[in-house]
């Protein structure tokens, strides 16, 4: 039983605690001046290999694997633990100070795109790939894409935070977000019971968006201990789908880009050779 009673008006007068206390704050805007680097390719990506960041690098690698040579990109590391997302250049691309952020320099004037779903749709429409054109299939694809955008905060900001990062374990919070995460896994499992991918037999941006979160969860790649805690083996169709996507060459390449943790790291990507050097071919 907590003795905490919320005040009439909340004020930011002490660190929130936890792993990200040093960068969490209740206001927006830049904290320091720092221009963003610009490479030679049409697309400049500023990101980190979190699940949200992986969506976009997987998309780029899938486009290149499909023969869209115009999708060449430079990927620059934004270290959110060091506050890179609060640099003036990054805030100019994404006023919300979250990764990933993209500048499309392929046209006459640069276009900024922020929010991972917006980036996926932008690239899919630009190259005519991984987004169905038939009306009903397109609507289904976008529905699952935005389902992920609305649902994943319960997994990352909810379960992940209270299970893995919060300075104290709060039973109510963990139970609340575990329940919702399992409900979401059940939604996916029922959909995938009769569909190879989320949109029938077509691999789309819906799969690309959903996989880093829910595929990562059932493959035990997100928060240590959560796969066992949530008994993810029960969701057999999600596990099948997750393994199938994990085996794709473009996915194996995409998840390495802007990776700054673990034994295998690739902070920046400026050509296929950068990934080849780490992954091999």
Q: Per-residue pLDDT for the chain (281 aa), expressed as one digit of tens each?
A: 578 899 999 998 876 666 766 678 899 999 999 999 999 999 999 999 999 999 999 999 999 999 999 999 999 999 999 999 999 999 999 999 999 999 999 999 999 999 999 999 999 999 999 999 999 999 999 999 999 999 999 999 999 999 999 999 999 999 999 999 999 999 999 999 999 999 999 999 999 999 999 999 999 999 999 999 999 999 999 999 999 999 999 999 999 999 999 999 999 999 999 999 998 75
pLDDT at 12: 87
Distance set, CA 281 to CA 203, 252, 267, 275 (Å): 23, 11, 18, 8
pLDDT at 1: 58
Distance CA 203, CA 251 (A): 12
Six-digit token string for 22: 């040093």
* Domain boundaries defined on the chain: 1-130, 135-247
Q: Provide CATH code, domain 1-130.
A: 3.40.30.10
CB 30 within 8 A of CB 86: yes
pLDDT at 3: 83
pTM above 0.85, yes or no: yes
The CATH class of 135-247 is: mainly alpha
Six-digit token string for 144: 């699952």
Distance CA 54, CA 49 (A): 5
CB 32 within 8 A of CB 87: yes
pLDDT at 255: 98
Six-digit token string for 271: 């050509």
């Amino acid at each position: 039983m907590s003795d905490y009673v919320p005040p009439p008006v909340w004020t930011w007068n002490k660190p929130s605690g936890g792993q990200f206390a040093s960068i969490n704050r209740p206001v927006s805007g830049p904290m320091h001046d720092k221009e963003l680097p610009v490479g030679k390719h049409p697309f400049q990506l500023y990101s980190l290999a979190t699940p949200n960041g992986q969506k976009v690098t997987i998309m780029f690698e899938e486009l290149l694997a499909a023969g869209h040579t115009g999708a060449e990109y430079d990927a620059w590391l934004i270290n959110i633990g060091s506050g890179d997302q609060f640099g003036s250049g990054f805030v100019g691309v994404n006023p919300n100070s979250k990764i990933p952020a993209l500048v499309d320099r392929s046209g006459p004037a640069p276009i900024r795109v922020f929010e991972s779903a917006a980036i996926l749709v932008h690239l899919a429409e630009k190259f005519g790939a991984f987004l169905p054109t038939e009306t009903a299939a397109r609507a289904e694809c976008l529905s699952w894409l935005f389902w992920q955008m609305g649902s994943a905060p319960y997994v990352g900001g909810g379960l992940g935070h209270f299970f893995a990062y919060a300075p104290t374990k709060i039973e109510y919070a963990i139970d609340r977000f575990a329940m919702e995460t399992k409900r979401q896994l059940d939604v996916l499992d029922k959909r995938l019971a009769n569909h190879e991918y989320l949109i029938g037999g077509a691999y789309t941006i819906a799969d690309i968006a959903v996989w880093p979160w829910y595929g990562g969860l059932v493959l035990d790649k997100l928060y240590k201990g959560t796969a066992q805690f949530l008994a993810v083996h029960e969701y057999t169709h999600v596990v099948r789908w997750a393994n199938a996507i994990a085996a794709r060459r473009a996915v194996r390449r995409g998840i390495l880009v802007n990776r700054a943790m673990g034994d295998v790291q690739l902070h920046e990507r400026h050509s296929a050779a950068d990934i080849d050097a780490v992954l091999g071919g």
